[in-house]
Structure 1
Amino acid sequence: MPTTKREHPASAAPLDEAGLRDLILEIIDENHVMCVATVRSDGWPHATLVNYLRLGRALYFIVARESQKFANITQDSRVSVALGGGLGADGGVRGLSMAARAIEVSDPAHIKEINQAIFRLSKVAGFRPHPSSVLVAVMEVRPSLISVIDYAVPPGRRDLVRAVEDWRIEHVQPIQS
């Protein structure tokens, strides 16, 4: 469900938790492809692009059961997700990176709801699930930490937030290196 575009202030003033949540959902809705990085059995990252669908505050993607991505997630549900990078509605680069868990959706009623949402999308909506197998798994991304970049408003904003139950947002202090 797309969020409505809000007017950006003249500068990147701090946003409250609701404003940051709305910004995150806007950025998710501006994109249709995300990079999902999994942990391979040898410890190396494995990054691939997937189409995704947002229903409410949940992100879903489809994966072939015989794929390396599915094997990796089965062994370790931790994933990193990156999306965005293109120009947002205001002409600036916007994007998200997330530390998340990928969990297989197994409830048939939930899968039916997701399928119905996919079929309701117009062909121009951008969501094109395309695993190379008839044996697929529906995965839900459950973010823990979300890093937001939004350069649509000078001088730009960077926020690090924790997503807790039902995507309630809490600010996190960045780690100083």
Structure 2
Amino acid sequence: MDDVSRRKIQALLDQHRTMRIATLRPDGWPQVTTVGYANDGFAIYFLCGKESQKASNLTRDNRASLAIDDDTPQVMEITGLSMAARAEVVNDPVEGEKALRLLFQRYPEQKSMPAALPMPGDVRIFRLTPTVISVLDYTKGFGHTDLVTC
């Protein structure tokens, strides 16, 4: 991966805070949901309920696809990321605290709503590691993507 691609991917990861993530249900059909995320470089963290369909799907099959972008008023302004990634449960308490700290930095408004915050024992923290990244940039032409292998 060249430096230009690396900087563009990093900038897009840093400027957003929601993504759509697709996991595989037991029947083989993909399930897509929107989740908040925080990143440390290309490591992407999100949390979900321990008993959620996402947690169950990723425990069975750790492959995920995700999309990060904006809702732009003009089609030719679309920029974003589409990724294939592997998901791993964060079991290390130090990494878990780091992930939660990053998420609270990305969502500072949540600190004023402590009753709405999940308890650590109620959530599962995942780290996504990209394997393939498509950098979408329609400003370079309709449907333009640059494929990057990690």
1:44 and 2:25 equivalent?
Answer: no
Q: Deviations over 1:132-166 (max 9, x none)?
A: 99511110011111111112x44464101101xxx
Q: Report the CA distance shift for 1:161/1:120 in structure 2 as closer, same or farther (over 3 A).
A: closer
* Mapped partners of 1:55, 1:34: distance in 2: 15
* Mapped partners of 1:75, 1:99: distance in 2: 17
Say if 1:62 and 1:139, in contact at 8 Å, map to a contact too: yes
* Mapped partners of 1:131, 1:65: distance in 2: 11
Q: Choose between structure 1 and 2: higher helix proportion.
A: 2
* Mapped partners of 2:9, 2:71: distance in 1: 15
The number of equivalent residue pairs is 142
Say if 1:64 and 1:70, in contact at 8 Å, map to a contact too: yes
TM-score by length of 2: 0.82
Task: Point out 4+ residue stretches in structure 1 off by more than 4 angstroms.
Answer: 129-134
Say if 1:64 and 1:133, in contact at 8 Å, map to a contact too: no
Shift, 1:116, TM fit:
2.6
1:18 and 2:3 equivalent?
Answer: yes
Q: Report the CA distance shift for 1:133/1:68 in structure 2 as closer, same or farther (over 3 A).
A: farther
Structure whose CA Rg is larger: 1
Match of 1:149 in 2: 136
Q: Report the CA distance shift for 1:130/1:40 in structure 2 as closer, same or farther (over 3 A).
A: farther
Match of 1:9 in 2: none
Q: Secondary structure at the match of 1:86?
A: coil
- Structure 2: gaps (5+ residues): 111-115
* Mapped partners of 1:121, 1:38: distance in 2: 23
Match of 1:5 in 2: none
Pairing partner for 1:82 from 49, 56, 67: 67
* Mapped partners of 1:83, 1:38: distance in 2: 15
Pairing partner for 2:57 from 64, 68, 72: 72
